[in-house]
Amino acid sequence: MRICELREKEVVNVCDGERLGNICDIDFEERTGRICTLVIPGPCKIFGIIGRDSEYLIPYECVKRIGADVVLVEIEAAKCLHKCEW
Protein backbone atom coordinates (compact mmCIF):
# COMPACT_ATOMS: atom_id res chain seq x y z
CA MET A 1 0.00 0.00 0.00
CA ARG A 2 1.23 3.47 -0.84
CA ILE A 3 1.09 6.45 1.51
CA CYS A 4 -1.22 8.31 -0.88
CA GLU A 5 -3.68 5.39 -0.68
CA LEU A 6 -3.54 5.41 3.13
CA ARG A 7 -4.21 9.16 3.21
CA GLU A 8 -7.47 8.66 1.26
CA LYS A 9 -8.96 6.37 3.91
CA GLU A 10 -11.28 7.60 6.64
CA VAL A 11 -10.32 6.82 10.24
CA VAL A 12 -13.06 5.43 12.52
CA ASN A 13 -12.80 4.79 16.26
CA VAL A 14 -14.20 1.31 17.02
CA CYS A 15 -14.84 2.24 20.66
CA ASP A 16 -17.68 4.64 19.84
CA GLY A 17 -18.04 4.56 16.03
CA GLU A 18 -16.88 8.19 15.72
CA ARG A 19 -15.50 9.23 12.36
CA LEU A 20 -12.28 11.08 13.12
CA GLY A 21 -11.46 12.18 9.58
CA ASN A 22 -8.83 11.42 6.98
CA ILE A 23 -5.12 10.96 7.60
CA CYS A 24 -3.25 14.18 6.83
CA ASP A 25 0.26 13.14 7.89
CA ILE A 26 2.26 10.13 9.02
CA ASP A 27 5.23 10.05 11.41
CA PHE A 28 7.93 7.49 10.67
CA GLU A 29 10.80 6.14 12.73
CA GLU A 30 13.84 7.35 10.80
CA ARG A 31 16.07 4.38 11.49
CA THR A 32 13.65 1.59 10.56
CA GLY A 33 11.08 3.35 8.37
CA ARG A 34 8.21 1.99 10.47
CA ILE A 35 5.05 4.02 10.93
CA CYS A 36 4.86 5.48 14.46
CA THR A 37 1.86 7.82 14.39
CA LEU A 38 -1.09 8.73 12.20
CA VAL A 39 -2.00 12.42 12.24
CA ILE A 40 -5.63 13.42 11.66
CA PRO A 41 -6.95 17.01 11.74
CA GLY A 42 -8.97 17.71 14.88
CA PRO A 43 -12.53 19.01 15.04
CA CYS A 44 -13.36 22.48 13.68
CA LYS A 45 -13.89 25.30 16.17
CA ILE A 46 -16.62 27.49 14.66
CA PHE A 47 -19.92 25.92 13.51
CA GLY A 48 -18.03 22.71 12.78
CA ILE A 49 -16.56 24.14 9.56
CA ILE A 50 -14.01 26.88 10.32
CA GLY A 51 -10.65 26.81 12.09
CA ARG A 52 -8.67 24.00 13.64
CA ASP A 53 -6.08 24.23 16.37
CA SER A 54 -5.80 20.58 17.35
CA GLU A 55 -5.07 17.23 15.77
CA TYR A 56 -5.42 13.57 16.65
CA LEU A 57 -2.07 11.81 17.12
CA ILE A 58 -2.86 8.11 16.93
CA PRO A 59 -0.10 5.61 17.78
CA TYR A 60 0.17 2.97 15.07
CA GLU A 61 -0.28 0.25 17.72
CA CYS A 62 -3.89 1.46 18.06
CA VAL A 63 -4.68 0.61 14.42
CA LYS A 64 -6.84 -2.53 14.47
CA ARG A 65 -7.57 -3.00 10.76
CA ILE A 66 -6.91 -1.28 7.45
CA GLY A 67 -9.76 -1.94 5.04
CA ALA A 68 -10.54 -0.91 1.49
CA ASP A 69 -12.05 2.45 2.53
CA VAL A 70 -11.55 2.74 6.29
CA VAL A 71 -8.84 2.53 8.95
CA LEU A 72 -10.24 1.19 12.24
CA VAL A 73 -8.54 2.38 15.41
CA GLU A 74 -9.18 1.70 19.09
CA ILE A 75 -8.46 4.86 21.10
CA GLU A 76 -9.75 7.21 23.74
CA ALA A 77 -10.19 10.18 21.41
CA ALA A 78 -9.77 12.79 24.14
CA LYS A 79 -6.33 11.41 25.06
CA CYS A 80 -5.16 11.48 21.42
CA LEU A 81 -6.31 15.06 20.73
CA HIS A 82 -3.34 17.46 20.96
CA LYS A 83 -2.77 21.15 20.30
CA CYS A 84 -1.17 21.79 16.90
CA GLU A 85 2.50 22.71 17.02
CA TRP A 86 2.41 25.20 14.13
Given a cut of 70, whether residue 51 has pLDDT beyond it is no
Task: Specify the CATH number for the domain of residue 68.
Answer: 2.30.30.240
- Region 48-54: what's the mean pLDDT? 62
The count of domains in the chain is: 1
For residue 54, name the pLDDT band (cuts at 50, 70, 90).
Answer: confident
pLDDT one-digit tens code per residue, 11-49: 999 999 999 999 989 999 999 999 999 999 887 666 555
Rounded Cα distance, 23 and 9, in Å: 7
Q: How many residues are given for the chain?
A: 86
Distance of alpha carbon 59 from the chain centroid: 9
Rounded Cα distance, 38 and 64, in Å: 13
The domain of 31 spans: 3-83
Contacts of 50 (CB under 8 A, 6+ apart): 44
Contact 61, 38 (CB under 8 A): no
